[in-house]
Chain A
Amino acid sequence: MRFRNWLAILAGVLPMSLVVILVFLTAYAWPAIRFNGWGFAFRDMWNLGNLYADPVMSAGVSIQPGAEYGILFLIAGTLLSTIIALLFAIPVGAGAAVFLAEAIPGQLRTWISLFVELLAAIPSVVFGLWGYVVLIPFLGHHVFPFLASRLDLVPFFGGPPGSGYGLLTAGIVLAMMVVPLITATLRDALVSQPVALKEASIALGATRFEAIRYILLPRTRGVLIGATFLALGRALGETMAVLMVSGNALNYLPQNIYSPISTMAAFIVSQLDSALQDPSGLAVKSLAEIALVLCVISVLVNAAARLMLAAWGRTFSTARGA
Chain B
Amino acid sequence: MATLPTSVPGNGRRPPLKMRWTRRISTMLGWTTCGLALLTLSGLMVWILEMVFVRGFSALTPTVLTTVTQGRGGGLLNAIEGTAVLSGGALLLAVPFGMASGIYVAEYHYSRWASVIGFLADVLVGVPSIVMGYFGYVTMVEWLGWNFSVAAGAIVLAIICLPYICRTTELALKQVPAEIREAAYALGASDRRVILRICLPAALPGILTGVLLALAISVGETAPLLYTAGWSSFMWDGHLTHSPIGYLTYAIWTFINEPFASANALAYAAALLVTGFVLLINIVARFTLKRTSI
State the A residues within 8 Å of B (CB). Answer: 1, 3-4, 7-8, 10-15, 17-18, 21, 24-25, 28, 91-96, 98-100, 103, 112, 114-116, 118-119, 121-130, 132-134, 176, 179-180, 183, 201, 204-210, 213-215, 218, 233-234, 236-240, 244, 265, 268-269, 272, 287-288, 291-292, 294-295, 298-299, 301-303, 305-306
> Per-position contact with A for B103-136: 1 when CB-CB < 8 Å, else 0?
1110010000100110111111111111110110
Contacts of B96 in A (CB 8 A): 10
Contact: A125 with B253, CB < 8 Å?
yes
Closest B residue by C-beta to A15: B120
Q: How far is the CA of A15 from the CA of B116 in the complex (A)?
A: 8
B4 at the interface (CB under 8 A from A): yes
B40 touches which one: A12, A92, A208 (CB < 8 A)? A92
B92 at the interface (CB under 8 A from A): no
Contact: A268 with B134, CB < 8 Å?
yes
Contact: A96 with B41, CB < 8 Å?
yes
Contacts of A7 in B (CB 8 A): 100, 103-104, 108
B1 touches which one: A8, A121, A207, A218 (CB < 8 A)? A218
Contacts of B122 in A (CB 8 A): 302-303, 306
Contact: B134 with A288, CB < 8 Å?
yes
B249 touches which one: A13, A14, A125, A214 (CB < 8 A)? A125
Closest B residue by C-beta to A293: B131
Contact: B279 with A21, CB < 8 Å?
no
Closest B residue by C-beta to A244: B253
Contacts of A123 in B (CB 8 A): 219-222, 249, 274-275, 278
B214 to chain A, nearest CB (A): 13
Q: How far is the CA of A3 from the CA of B190 in the complex (A)?
A: 9
B126 touches which one: A114, A183, A288, A298 (CB < 8 A)? A298
B60 to chain A, nearest CB (A): 15
A218 to chain B, nearest CB (A): 5
Contact: A126 with B48, CB < 8 Å?
yes
B6 to chain A, nearest CB (A): 9
